[in-house]
Amino acid sequence: MITIQGKGVSTGVAAGPLYFYQRAKGTLRRYEVEDREAEFARFKAAQAKAMEQLGVLAEKAREEAGDEAAMLFETHQMMCEDMDYEEAIEGFIRESGINAEAAVTDAGAAQAEAFAAMEDDYFKARAADVKDISTRIVGILMGVVQGGIDSEVPVILAADDLAPSETVQLDKSKILGFVTSGGSGSSHTAILARTMGIPAIIGVGDQLKPEYEGREVIVDGGTGSVVVDADDDTRERLMKKRTELLHRQQLLNQLRGQPNVSRDGQEVRIYCNIGNPEDVHAVLENDGGGIGLFRSEFLYLNCDDYPTEDYQFEAYKKVLSDMGGKEVVIRTLDIGADKMIGYFNLPHEENPALGNRALRICLNRPEIFRTQLRALYRASAYGRLSIMFPMVTSVWEVKEAKKLCEQVKAELAEEGIPFSEEVDVGIMIETPAAAVVSDRLAKVVDFFSIGTNDLTQYTLACDRQNNDLGRFFNAHHPAVLRLIKMVAENAHKEGIWCGICGELGADLDLTETFLSIGIDELSVSPRSVLPLRQKVRDTEVAAVREKLVDDLMSDRNTI
Ligand code: PEP
Ligand code: MG
């Protein structure tokens, strides 16, 4: 038995054969062929297979994220059959007599170089597409399975980490759990695992050896352990834990459809945080009351260039219509700091967390912001949309952003494009400045949602990305809790609602505190909805209100 320790980022226990995610790499062999005709036919067969795979991917993307998302793969199909590309490959095979793998690689590299040298940004970005297509065809020629999982049975998937475009392609019914050598709790794999409700362990480094492939592993996403070839006692213990967790989930399922009301009648809305349109399934499955935070940067991270208005419109529209009239709070672009995107060409900064990020970028580059706002307002005709701005520090920023909203609405009205007049506009409170001037901010917005991840980082001057600062990053610090209380009070004085969408919202040790200070909405990962509902229903707020509020002002939490 071999036990490997990583960091659990999505709870649950699962057992299954270990399977390493397949990428089309391997060593490319370059050789001269005898039968050039047969070699060209081998290329044509691989090209046809690539077209077929891309067709399947386009359909899958269409189902999950709409027509615009499918277009990426349809463009790849067109490029795969492009005459110039094919003729270059044919030339290498027929005239130089080299094998198909080498011919595709060389032709792809030459075409990518030509695209990269072009002036136009759109064509520049196509260089990555040509490389992607060539990698796919070479993978087929070399017999490497594309799309990750070539197994009849579901597996525990091991990888270094997965790119967003790779996660789109995974057959999710084949995955029992994830183990990655790198990654972080906010990596795409971790977010995907939490949303799918399957265990995930990250950061196992090189402890997971290729020779473990196919052997049975048991992963425990709660403790972060990965056991290869478990002995009988360990297997029995972990399987018992698995049964208990499943049983607990069944009990929680009975809470579906029940209200989030405390024993003494205080109600709180429990919404969900999502990262992409597919996640709506998990929201509905877990009975989330709405979406309190759609991190729209997913759309930008998933593209090689600025996503167009139509592309964004399709994605927002899909989420709004799939939510069937329930409230959906979409946060405008929040990049910079930990979420960098190459094509934004942001200059290097000494302190990116304090730099040009989120709303600051949007106000400095209004053309990008306007595209997103137009897409959002257009989508508002298909459901109940609220728009939220991140990283606010001052009232003037909000006023400037709202002015752009008004301009966009006026434009749409003039163009005769429908949109809803009922869109609420709110802000995230995630800087101490915003919390301190929340009395003023409350006068200019419709709601607040407290981003406790950043609020903790900025209040405690403690980098949320730095794992070595673990014990200093204390979201229970009274400084953070007092700010939350102050923000809620200022919101209520102006008659607007106040929610929490940072990770702290799902912290069951604080549910009573949040109810006692009158938080109106908690937005959490879909899987946290039912445990949180259970906790709310078990709480008697009046009985603990005074004590809890007193505690916030004292040093109950180590200062
Ligand atoms: C937060 O800062 O608490 C938040 C919800 O936003 P993000 O984690 O995306 O920065
Ligand atoms: Mg934040």
Q: For the segment 277-292, what is each residue's pLDDT rounded down to a tens digit?
A: 988 999 999 999 999 9
157-200 confidence digits (pLDDT tens): 998 877 655 666 677 788 999 999 887 665 667 767 877 778 99
Give the integer Cα–Cα distance in Å for 203 and 191. 15
- In one-letter notation, the amino acid at residue 11 is T
- Asked if 269 and 518 touch (Cβ cutoff 8 Å), the reply is no
At residue 293, the pLDDT reads: 98
3-state secondary structure of 291: strand
275 lines ligand 1 (CB under 6 A): no
Distance 194 CA to ligand 1 centre (A): 16
Whether 443 has a pLDDT exceeding 90, the answer reads yes
- Give the closest residue (by CA) to ligand 1 atom 6: 451
Quick one: how far is CA 98 from the chain centroid? 43
First to last CA, the chain: 44
Region 47-54 average pLDDT:
91
Rounded distance between C-alpha atoms, residue 395 and residue 383, angstroms: 28
Decide: 203 in ligand 1 pocket, CB within 6 A: no
216-220/13-20 β-pairing? antiparallel
559 pLDDT above the threshold of 60: no
- Residue 286 CA to residue 272 CA, distance in Å, equals 9
pLDDT at residue number 43? 95
Residue 295 Cβ < 6 Å to ligand 1: yes
Using most ligand atoms within 8 A of CB, pick from 430, 463, 483 the residue to mutate for ligand 1: 430
Strands (E) across 7-136 are located at: 7-10, 13-20
Confidence of residue 120 (pLDDT cuts 50, 70, 90): confident
Q: Is 520 in the pocket of ligand 1 (CB under 6 A)?
A: no
Kindly calculate the radius of gyration of the chain based on its CA atoms and give it in whole angstroms.
26
Contact in structure between 283 and 272 (CB atoms under 8 Å) = yes
Q: What is the pLDDT of residue 558?
A: 56
Closest atom of ligand 1 to 297 CA is 9
Residue 557 in this model has a pLDDT that exceeds 60: no
Say yes or no: CB of residue 454 within 6 Å of ligand 1. yes
Domains in the chain and their CATH numbers?
A: 25-141 (1.10.274.10), 155-253 (3.50.30.10), 256-553 (3.20.20.60)
Query: Of the bound ligands, which one is closest to the alpha carbon of residue 484?
Result: 1
Categorize the per-residue pLDDT at 144 as very low, low, confident or very high, splitting at 50, 70 and 90: low
Q: What is the mean pLDDT of the chain?
A: 90
- Ligand 1 binding pocket includes 453 (Cβ within 6 Å): yes
451 Cα to the center of ligand 2, angstroms: 5
Residue 435 corresponds to which tokens in the numbers above? Answer: 């919390």
Q: Which residue has the higher pLDDT, 137 or 342?
A: 137
Residue-level pLDDT at 210: 86
HSE at residue 463, side-chain half, CA atoms within 13 A, is 10
488 pLDDT more than 90? yes
Work out the burial of residue 257: count CB atoms within 10 Å of its CB; fewer than 13 is exposed, 13-18 middle, 19 or more buried: exposed
Q: Ligand 1 atom closest to Cα of 295?
A: 9
Q: Looking at residue 145, what is its pLDDT?
A: 56
Distance, in Å, from the CA atom of 519 to the CA atom of 266, rounded to the nearest integer, reads 10
At 184 the pLDDT is 65
pLDDT of residue 89: 96
Do residues 39 and 262 make contact, with C-beta atoms less than 8 angstroms apart?
A: no
Say yes or no to pLDDT of 146 above 60: no
Give the whole-angstrom CA distance, residue 242 versus residue 193: 17
For the segment 240-259, the average pLDDT, to the nearest whole number, is 91
Lowest-pLDDT range of 190-204, 322-336, 390-404: 190-204
CB atoms within 10 A of CB 37: 10
pLDDT value at residue 347? 85
* CA dihedral sign of residues 315, 317, 323, 329: positive
Distance of CA 372 to the CA centre of its chain: 18
pLDDT range class, residue 469, cuts 50, 70, 90 = confident
501 catalytic residue (yes or no): yes
Buried b (16+ CB within 10 A) or exposed e, 454-472: bbbbbbbebebeeeeeeee
CA distances to 12, 239, 254, 522, 527 from 248, in Å:
11, 14, 10, 22, 13
3-state SS assignment for residue 261? strand
Joined tokens for residue 339: 């979420």
Q: 216 has which bridge partners?
A: 17
Q: Can you give the pLDDT at residue 163?
A: 63
The answer to whether the beta carbons of residues 15 and 238 sit under 8 Å apart is yes
- Given a contact cutoff of 8 angstroms between Cβ atoms, the answer to whether 149 and 173 are in contact is no
C-alpha span between 322 and 271 (Å, rounded): 15
Q: Residues 43, 104: contact at Cβ < 8 Å? A: yes
Please give the distance, rounded to the nearest whole angstrom, from the Cα atom of residue 216 to the centre of ligand 2: 39
Q: What is the mean pLDDT of residues 483-509?
A: 96
**Which residue's CA is the closest to the ligand 1 atom numbered 3?**
451
Q: How far is the CA of 334 from the centre of ligand 2 (A)?
A: 8
Kindly state if the Cβ of 151 falls inside 6 Å of ligand 1. Answer: no
Q: In the structure encoding, which two tokens stand for residue 356, read together? A: 């040009």
Distance from C-alpha of 15 to C-alpha of 23, rounded to nearest angstrom: 24
CA distance 449 to 275: 17
Contact 33, 93 (CB under 8 A): yes
Evaluate whether 80 touches 50 at the Cβ level (below 8 Å).
Answer: yes
Residue nearest to atom 10 of ligand 1 (CA): 454
Q: Which residues contact 519 (CB under 8 A, 6 or more apart)?
A: 268, 484, 488, 498, 499, 500
The reply to whether ligand 1 has any atom less than 6 angstroms from the CB of 522 is: no
Kindly name the residue from 76, 188, 477, 498 that is annotated as catalytic.
Answer: 188
281 classed as catalytic: no
For residue 147, pLDDT beyond 80: no
At residue 437, what are phi and psi to the nearest 5 degrees? Answer: -100, 25
The model scores a pTM over 0.85:
no
How far apart CA 501 and CA 429 sit, in angstroms, is 10
Distances (CA, A) of 474 to 333, 453, 463, 515, 522: 27, 10, 11, 20, 19
Question: What Cα–Cα distance (Å) separates residue 463 from each residue in 333, 459, 470?
Answer: 21, 10, 10
pLDDT the model gives residue 167: 66
Candidate list 80, 303, 405, 501, residue with the active-site label: 501
